[in-house]
Amino acid sequence: MFRDFGSKAGSGGQQSASLANVDRRERQTQLALENIDLEKDPYIMKNHIGKYECKLCLTQHNTIGNYMAHTQGRRHKYNLHKRIAADQKDTPIKGIQKQEKMFKKTLKIGRPGYTVSKKINPETKQKSLIFVIQYPEIDKELQPRFRIMSSYEQKQEPPNPKYQYLLFAADPYETIAFKIPNKPIDRGEGKFITEWDKDTYSMTLKLHFQKEDQKQIPKIPPPSAKLPPPPSSLGTRKLALPGKVIPPPPINAPLRKQ
Ligand SMILES: [Zn+2]
């Protein structure tokens, strides 16, 4: 007799092992829940794929246990400290709502790689910046987006009117921002170029700043000296009128002493 039971028992065994895992995880979860009142934690959020997010640090955690461990970590404590300090100025509810609106709830995989180079246009002597951002894991239907933001519009740093911010965004990457001088950007032909290379997954943005003298108010010409009226048609004719003859200046006239 074939012992079919054997294999069945085996697979049954595996099944119960994985069930035991689930059980264990649930127990861990239960334990975590018992120890800390998560309902009072304003930063935990279960997302659409059933994982846990820390709204404070914008991190994602596979299990509630991982989330709990995260709340004991340096990053969370640091952010919590910052938040408490900020809340003393702002109302806490307002602060959290603001942050929720600012960040789309997508799983972010980190910052993209990038290079920035400074150049001087050999022809126009304008200063230029070239940004190349690498997005190898970009969502295939997407194209990176960019935006220039004023120092007052951004909320990450205290505003400084000397700077403006150039932002690049492409899911699932984190949005990155470059702080650039707050100088007028030349939007003339060939001066502001963006290119998305689908084969190398690289986004290139090249910008030129207007030259210092470009932004100056054009010189107003001095009020024109009173020019003699254009000669009338008569003027072209030799008039037989006795005009005043101005004598030529005397040659070798002695220079007046000052
Ligand atoms: Zn956190």
Å from CA of 157 to ligand 1 middle: 20
Mean pLDDT of 78-90: 80
Is the pTM value of this prediction over 0.85? no
Task: Give the confidence band of 174 by pLDDT, cuts at 50, 70, 90.
Answer: confident
Å from CA of 94 to ligand 1 middle: 18
Identify the CATH number of the domain in which residue 144 sits.
2.60.40
Residues 82 and 136 occupy one common structural domain: no
Q: Quote the longest CA-to-CA distance of the chain.
A: 148
Peptide bond into 42 cis (omega under 30): no
Å from CA of 35 to ligand 1 middle: 18
Question: Of 57, 77, 102, which closes a domain?
Answer: 102
Q: Considering only CA atoms, which of 113, 146, 109, 104 is closest in space to residue 132?
A: 113
> What are residue 145's DSSP bridge partners?
169
Å from CA of 168 to ligand 1 middle: 24
The pLDDT tens digits for 205-252 are 999 999 876 555 555 555 555 555 555 544 444 444 444 555 555 555
- Domain residues for 171? 113-213
pLDDT score, position 207? 94
The verdict on residue 242 lying in a domain is no
Inform me whether the pLDDT recorded for 25 exceeds 80: no
Å from CA of 79 to ligand 1 middle: 7
Residues 144 and 78 occupy one common structural domain: no
Residues 209 and 119 occupy one common structural domain: yes
Q: CA–CA distance from 99 to each of 18, 54, 84, 92, 93 (Å)?
A: 39, 12, 14, 11, 10
Question: Of 102, 126, 161, which closes a domain?
Answer: 102
Task: Please state the domain count of the chain.
Answer: 2
| Residues that place a CB less than 5 A from ion ligand 1 | 54, 56-57, 76
Residues 120 and 93 occupy one common structural domain: no
pLDDT score, position 87? 74
Å from CA of 16 to ligand 1 middle: 35
The verdict on residue 140 lying in a domain is yes
Higher pLDDT, 241 or 18: 18
pLDDT score, position 36? 56
Inform me whether the pLDDT recorded for 183 exceeds 50: yes
Å from CA of 213 to ligand 1 middle: 49
